[in-house]
Amino acid sequence: MVAALDNRIGTRRGFGGSALVSSAWERDAAAGFVEELFAAHHGEIYAYLIRMLRDPELAADLTQDAFIKAYRNYDTLEKPENARAWLYQIAHRVALDHIRRQKIVRFLPWTGESRGAAPSTERLVMDAHLSGDMQRALARIPERQRAAILLAEVHDLTGLELAAALGVSHVAARALLTRARESLRQALAAEREADAQAEAEAEARAARNRPTRGAR
């Protein structure tokens, strides 16, 4: 990971224009710390990005970009115990930047892995091809609400971690999550109603096409 960081960092500026740490000691400290974060959180950051983008190769590239940005902005992390939320904030921004550039908003179905789980690439690729009410319902709700649902319900961020990841206050994060849950509930109900209606229409068509008794 350190080699990848050293090879891929081509500018001297990071998020928000903050300067890259200058001394060799600080670079070593940053690289060592980010190495530890990569080992501990790579799987869940990748899982979050693949759910946001539905593209395993792109998610892998953006996961590496997120850790590169973490290395560049090591000096913006105020407390090491907040590192997980800080990483999610960086990954969230990386994902939204890409989504806004590409104008794509696609999400994976709910799988509910617990905190710290690192699903296999094969499982994530398989999930990426699934469809269902939850996926369509997530696609119906606003972008920030979708992110809040994914971070809180799928990736199990605490209230304070969610606030840090979204860059808002704890109160604002709770309010956003409440709205997101209600939006998702309504969207899911609409999807299920649409499914039931489509099923009823299919049965009606089948009944109309079914030959009547005694017909030749």
φ and ψ of 13, to 5 deg = -125, 155
Q: Going by C-beta distance under 8 Å and a sequence separation of 6 or more, which residues neighbour residue 9? A: 20, 68, 71, 72
The token duo for 133 is: 């009410």
**pLDDT grade, residue 214 (50/70/90)?**
low
- Cα–Cα distance, 184 to 137 (Å, whole number): 6
**Structure pTM?**
0.60
**pLDDT grade, residue 172 (50/70/90)?**
very high
> In Å, how far are 3, 13, 15, 80 from 7, measured between CA atoms?
6, 15, 18, 25
> In Å, how far are 24, 33, 180 from 14, measured between CA atoms?
17, 17, 31
pLDDT at 18: 45
Residue 156 CA neighbour count, 13 Å, CB half: 9
Residue ranges per structural domain of the chain? 2-209
Does residue 70 have a pLDDT over 80?
A: yes
**pLDDT grade, residue 98 (50/70/90)?**
confident
Does residue 64 have a pLDDT over 70?
A: yes
Say if CB 50 and CB 57 are below 8 A apart.
no
pLDDT at 179: 93
Query: Which residue did the predictor score with more confidence, 205 or 108?
Result: 205
